[in-house]
Amino acid sequence: MQLCWAHFKRDFIKISERSGVSQQIGTALLEQQEKLWFYRFLYVIFGKISLKALPQLDLRF
């Protein structure tokens, strides 16, 4: 089964456009997604971090 990050991002945006707690959750999901892709970018493009280090990164806010 393949997952499409573009679809996830679209869904996260829709959730963040709601009101109340849903908005907070959607915004948090978008921020986490951006961090994930930033660290992935560092790994793939620049080789700045190793695969072993990925699980130990602090992706929390």
40: alpha, beta or left? (left if phi > 0; alpha if psi -120 to 50): alpha
Residue 59 has pLDDT above 80, yes or no: no
Instruction: Categorize the per-residue pLDDT at 41 as very low, low, confident or very high, splitting at 50, 70 and 90.
Output: confident
Alpha helices by DSSP H, the chain: 5-16, 21-41
pLDDT at 27 over 90: yes
Residues 28-32, mean pLDDT to the nearest whole number: 92
